[in-house]
Chains A and B, each alone.
Chain A
C-alpha cells in the first residue's frame, strides 16, 4: 500500500499547481473585468500596417 504515498504526493503537487494558477489569476486581476476579455477575443485582428493609411478620399 506504500504506493499510495507516491500517488498522494503526485495528486497534491498537481493540485497545488492549480492553486498557484488560481492565486496568480487573482493577483493579476483576471477576475476583475468579466466582460472585456470575452469580447476582445472575438475581434478579427486585421494586420495593422505600421504606416497609418492616408486619407482615402
Chain B
C-alpha cells in the first residue's frame, strides 16, 4: 500500500525518508535513524555541509548498519592484490563501485574525501558508471580503512566476486576515433572536390592535380583505419560461409578506392574519394548511434556479480576472511545479517531466516532450522548463522544453473533480415555488372572497366545499412526514454517476431515491494492498530515495515522494553500493554500449519488475530494482459503453489498455460518446448530463478523496480512501472522493420538513377557526389521522422 504522505510529516534531513518510529534530533535537524545522524555528524565535523546544500536530502537511508568486520577481507594481501589497479610502495589506486552515487552532492562529498582522511590523495568519480577511482597513501591508510570510511559516510563499496576476475566491458573508443578520422577526411576531401564539381578551368590543370593528390592522401586513412570495422565484420562472416551486409560494402570501398587511385595515378580523372569517405563516415555514424548502449546497465551479469568477494570461514573458533573460490567442502562459514549464502550447505548453528528474493523473486524470508539445507543465493536476515559447506561455490545449485545454460541460443545464430535482404541485393548487383560487362565487351571494350566499377561504387548496399542502423539507433533511444532498455539493436527484431509471451508470476506480475495485507481474527480497535504500528515501526524486518506502512500514524506511541528475536518476532510494552508480533510459535507457542505468510499479534499474551500477506498484482496488469492476449499466446510460470490459479486464468483467458511449482529448470524446459514447436518466445521475469529461461528465450526481458537494481542477464531491462506499455513497445518494434524497408525502397530509387549513368560508363564524380549525400540525408529524415511520429502516436 502506498504511504499516504501528509504535509506535516517529519522527514529525515539526511535521506529524506519519513521518520516512522523514532525521531532522532541533532542541532534542530531531524533524522530517521542513528545511522543517518552519524553520517551527518561526520560530514558536519569536517565542514562538508555543502553536501546538504547542493541537493535536498541527498543521502541514502542508513538504517541497516554495516557490520564491523565486513571489510576485514581487504586486509588479506592476495584478495587486495586482485582488486587494486595499481600499487607501489607509496600509492595504491583502487576503483570502487559505489551504487549509492546519484547526484551532484555525492560527487562533491566523494571528491572531497581527502578532507576526511589525510591518507587519501585524490578521488575521482565516474558518474555514469557509479565508480570512484581513489588514490591513497599506502603507509597511512589501508584499503580496509578506506572502505570503512566510505561505509561510514553512507557510500558502502559494493565488492563482488566479479571484481576478482577483473574483466569489464570497455567503452568502444576505437570506433569513435575512427568516426573522427573519417569525418575529418570526408570534410576536407569534399572541400577539395568542389572545384571539380563546379568545372575548374583547363588552365588550372596543375592545381587540379594537387587537389587530386591531396584527396588521394586523405582517403588513405579512411581506407586503412576508419573502414576497419567493415573489413573485420565481412571477414568474420565469410569465414562462417555467410554473406552479411558488410561484405559487399567492404568490396565497394576497396573497388572505389582502387579505381580512384588508378584515375589519379594515370592522371585521367578525379576519382570518387569524396563518395567513398562520405559513405564510410555516414555508416560509422549510424553504427555508433546504434551501438550506443546503456553503460549504467549491465545485461551480462552472472552470479559472480551478486556474490561477495569473501566470507568468514570459522577455523578453530577464529573468523578468517577467505576469498570465495577458496571455500572448500567441509568448511564452516559464518554468515552475518544481510549477507549472502555463498555455497550450498547445512545450517549448523543459529536461526536462518533466509530471503530468497533474488533467487525466486519472493521478498518474504523463509525460516530454516538447524540441520536444514540452505541453498546458495539466499540472503540471511537476522542474527549470524553458521553453515557447513556441502558444495563448492561453482558447484552450488544456482551457480550450476548458470553454467548449464550455455546451450546455444537459437535466436543468436539467426541473422537479421537486413543481411538476407543485402544478399539478394548483392546478387542483383552482380547480375547487372555481368550484363553490363558482357554488353561493353561486345561494343566498346574501353568502357568495360569504368562501367563495371561504377556499378559497384553506386550500388553498394550502404543505403540499406544506413537506414537500418539509423532506424535502430533511434528506436533504442525512444524505448530508452520510456525506461525500456535493450541490449542491442538485434533485440528490436527479436521483439518484433514474438508469438508467445511467457510471464513469471512473483515479482513480475506481482510486485515484490508491495503486499496486500489482510487481517483476520478479532477486530482491532483504533488504539490497538496504533500500538501494533508503533511496535512494528521499531523493526527493520520487511514484514514489520510493511505493517508499519499499512497503518501509518502521525505520532507514534512510545515503545518500552523493545526486544527483537531474529526470525521469530518482536515484542515490547506499548501504552502499558505487552504487544507481541511474530510467528505463530513466538506469539502463542503453537506451530502454524498453513503455508501462507502470516504475522500473528497478541496483547498481554492474548492472541487477537493475524495479518495475512499476499502478493499484490501490479496496477495495470489486468489491462495489459487483456490487450496482449488478443495477439499473442500467453503463459504464466510460477514457482509458487497453485492458490492463484483461478485469478490468473480469468486474466489470461481459457487457452493460456498456467503452470505452478515450476523450478528454474522446468521454466527453461518449457521455453525450449515452445521453441521446438516453432514459437518465438518472449520471457518476462525478474529473479535469478528465471535466469535460465530468460537466456533460452528469444527475448528475455528482466523486470526491475529501479534500474539501479541488479537484474539477471537478459536481452532487455524494463522498469516495472513501464510494464503496462509492453504492448505499445512491441508494436513499435514491429514498425521498425517497415520503416527500414520503406527507406530502403527510397534509396533503391536513388540507386536506379545512379545505375542509369553507371551502366553507360559515364558516371561523373559530380553525379556520384550529389546522389550519395542526398540519398543519405533522405534516409536520415525518413527514418528519424517516421519513427518519432510513430512513437508520438503511441504516446511513448
Contacts and interface: CB of A to CB of B under 8 A. Distances in A.
A36 B114 CA distance: 18
Interface of B is mostly: helix
A8 B50 CA distance: 53
Interface string A11-46: 010011011001100110101111110011011100
Contact of A5 (B44, B104, B171, B210): B210
Given A36-B127, A42-B104, A19 B176 contact: no
Given A42-B104, A43-B108, A53 B46 contact: yes
B329 interface: no
B104 A23 contact: no
A19 to B, nearest CB: 4
B289 to A, nearest CB: 14
Interface in B119-148: 125-129
B542 interface: no
Contact of B115 (A1, A12, A48): A48
Interface size class of A (residues with CB under 8 A): 20 to 34
A4 B45 CA distance: 67
Interface stretch (B16-24, B177-185, B259-267, B740-748): B177-185
Contacts of B302: none
Contacts of A40: 107, 111
Contacts of A52: 46, 115, 118
Interface in B203-222: 204, 207, 210, 214
A33 B127 contact: yes
B360 to A, nearest CB: 35
B415 interface: no
Nearest to B187: A15
B296 to A, nearest CB: 10
A53 B47 contact: yes
Given A33-B128, A34-B128, A35-B127, A4 B104 contact: no
Contacts of A39: 104, 107-108, 127
Contact of B171 (A12, A18, A32, A42): A32
B41 to A, nearest CB: 9
A19 B181 CA distance: 7
A38 B118 CA distance: 27
Contact of A32 (B50, B107, B114, B128): B128
B173 interface: yes
B98 to A, nearest CB: 13
Given A19-B184, A23-B177, A26-B177, A1 B128 contact: no
Q: Most chain-A Cβ atoms within 10 A of its Cβ — which of B44, B50, B107, B210?
A: B107
Contacts of A31: 176
Contacts of B176: 26, 31
A43 B129 CA distance: 21
A55 B129 contact: no
A8 B128 CA distance: 41
Contacts of A18: 184
A16 B115 CA distance: 42
A28 to B, nearest CB: 10
A32 B172 CA distance: 10
Interface in B48-69: 50
Contact of B173 (A16, A26, A53, A56): A26
A52 to B, nearest CB: 7
Contacts of B210: 5, 8
Contacts of B125: 36
B47 A16 contact: no
B661 interface: no
Nearest to B47: A53
Nearest to B171: A32
Nearest to A51: B118
Given A8-B214, A33-B129, A53-B45, A27 B184 contact: no
B188 interface: yes
A9 to B, nearest CB: 9
14 contacts: A1-B207, A8-B210, A12-B188, A18-B184, A23-B177, A23-B180, A26-B177, A31-B176, A36-B125, A36-B126, A39-B107, A40-B107, A44-B50, A52-B118
The 4 closest A-B CB pairs, nearest first, are A39-B104, A36-B127, A35-B127, A19-B184
Interface of A: 1-2, 4-5, 8, 12, 15-16, 18-19, 22-23, 26-27, 29, 31-36, 39-40, 42-44, 48, 52-53, 55-56
